[in-house]
Structure 1
Amino acid sequence: MALSTHTTTTGFLLPSIHSAPPFFTQQVHAASLSTATEHWIQIILKYARHRKLFTIKVQDCEAPGNDWDEVLRNERINRKLLPSYLSYILGQMVSQKLAAYDPPKQDRSVLIYWRLPEEWAEVLHEWATSTGQLNTILTFYEITDPPVESPLSGIPVTLLRQAISILSKTNRAQIIGIAEGEGVRFFPSMGKS
């Protein structure tokens, strides 16, 4: 079978390397492993952005029928990524700061940074500004589950906290204790110096 790109049922275009059987095996040769792993990292990041997925777990390659199935498996060539290789790939993503183990102190599940926390901070502040939320206290729930879909819909609280922390350092946000737990107040950006 010739290597070819493939469009998944969700409309994601898999690169031709995804149809190469060796791509699903953790390579022994260091250069081959490095190249294949970088391709896997890019596929995972692009697919996560395409589907707005924030987590991937090692077990996602073990059981069919999950959100990652069409990437971690290739039924056309009867191949699937093995858990040990996915674990290695996730470790590489964490070391490159493209993911973080979530929850911490384990190595089987990661929070994927298809946008870096610094980028999420800018998206968050732009959303607060464009929707008239400056100087208003919002709960985390109001941000992650707004009545109107936003770029922040479904963002995990862990990632939201990181973005707010980044904004706090530039005096553009402040976490506030409220009756429902925690909230955040956004402030206008100060002029560029």
Structure 2
Amino acid sequence: MTTASPSGAAFVFPREYYFPPFFTRQTNLTTHHAQLTKWSALVLSYCRHYRIFKLSLSSTSPSSTTTTTTSSSSLIPSNPSSTLTGTTSTTSLVSTATTLTANTATSTTNTEELFHNRKLNRRLNLSDIREVIDFLVKDGRAEYVGDSKSGDIVWVYWRTPEEWAALIESWVDETAQRGTVLTLYELTQGENTRGTEFYGLDPELLQKALQILVKRSKAQIFGQEDSLGVKFF
């Protein structure tokens, strides 16, 4: 199960998620590119809905489950761009997400449903998930933590650090905060930022965004690690 979204609404999966071939790596290059595009869009939408900033890709079992063949045309959506056919190989996989709670504590959320459709008994295997993540990385929408392509934790940028930086800078202008000093806690957990899109932002992602403003000479970060402050110019 996942944590509730800020609105409390459950995520609505796209129709491709309910076609078994969607979980099969396609051999045709054009179809495979369309498949990666749709999976990437799904990952970004899902993470945006639940405000997930990091995904941890971990195998729950060293063994694989049964291989199933799904080649019937009745399983293929009528939209040509959604056409996916082939053989589905499944492995046990659980994806977890790191989200920031309102009191800045970090919690881990099981997001297995993102890559595992229990109703269809289909799941994307780990190598294919990594291919989706790599597709997002090339598009600037994901990044392996520690820049290790074999790592387990990845940032999912449904908003890039640059986009977060722009949102923060706009808020600074709108609230006349230039020249004032704010703690990083105030930015993501303070009453003055409640209701903004960056309220509850992951602290590391916040720093990535602020570093962009620092490089543009729009902000300065100072203080100790547990009590960092920022001044906007």
TM bucket, shorter chain: 0.7 to 0.9
2:48 matched residue in structure 1: 49
Tell me the SS of whatever aligns to 1:153: coil
Displacement of 1:125: 1.4
Counterpart contact for 1:87–1:108, Cα < 8 Å: no
| In structure 1, C-alpha distance between the alignment counterparts of 2:200 and 2:50, rounded to whole Å | 12
CA distance in 2, matches of 1:80, 1:154: 31
Tell whether the 8 Å contact from 1:100 to 1:110 is kept in structure 2 after alignment. yes
Aligned position for 1:11 = 10
Write the distance in 1 (CA, Å) between the matches of 2:95 and 2:208.
32
Question: Shift in Å at residue 36 of structure 1?
Answer: 0.7
Q: Pick one of 143, 148, 158 that aligns with 1:114.
A: 158
Which structure exhibits the higher relative contact order, with contacts defined as CA atoms closer than 8 Å and separated by 6 or more residues?
2
Consecutive unaligned residues of structure 1, counting only runs of 5 or more, are: 1-8, 188-193
Higher mean C-alpha displacement, 78-87 vs 175-184: 175-184
Residues 42 and 179 from structure 1, CA distance in 2 versus in 1: closer, same or farther, beyond 3 angstroms? closer
The answer to whether the Cα contact below 8 Å between 1:45 and 1:113 also exists between their aligned partners in 2 is yes
State the partner residue of 2:199. Answer: 153
What is the aligned counterpart of 2:211 among 154, 165, 169?
165
1:5-25 deviations in Å (ceiling 9; x for gaps): xxxx94322211111111112
Deviations 1:52-95 (A, max 9, x none): 11111222872388442332221221112211111111112112
**Deviation of residue 128 (structure 1)?**
2.9
RMSD across aligned C-alpha pairs, in angstroms?
Answer: 2.5
Q: Which amino acid aligns with 1:76?
A: K
- Between the aligned partners of 1:157 and 1:51, the Cα distance in structure 2 is 17
Check if 1:77 corresponds to 2:117. no
Q: Distance in 2 between matches of 1:143 and 1:118?
A: 16
What code does the residue aligned with 2:215 have?
K
Q: Deviations over 1:101-121 (max 9, x none)?
A: 114334322111111221111
The more displaced of 48-57 and 134-143 is 134-143
Counterpart residue type for residue 93 of structure 1: L
Is the CA contact 2:187–2:199 (under 8 Å) kept in the aligned structure 1?
yes
Q: Aligned in 2, Cα 1:178/1:51: closer, same or farther, shift over 3 Å?
A: same
Give the paired residue count: 179
Contact 1:87–1:107 (CA<8 Å) still a contact in 2?
no
Equivalent pairs: percent with the same residue? 31
Q: Gapped runs of 5+ residues in structure 2?
A: 1-7, 60-91, 97-108
- Tell me which protein shows more helix as a share of its residues: 1
Q: 1:55, 1:110 within 8 Å by CA — same for their partners in 2? A: yes
| Residue 150 (structure 1) shift | 3.2
Normalization by structure 2: what TM-score?
Answer: 0.67
The CA distance in 2 between the partners of 1:26 and 1:129, in whole Å, is 47
With normalisation by structure 1, the TM-score equals 0.80
- Tell me how far apart the structure 2 counterparts of residues 41 and 121 of structure 1 sit (CA, whole Å): 23
Q: What are the residue-to-residue correspondences of 1:27-46 with 2, within 5 Å? A: 27-46=26-45
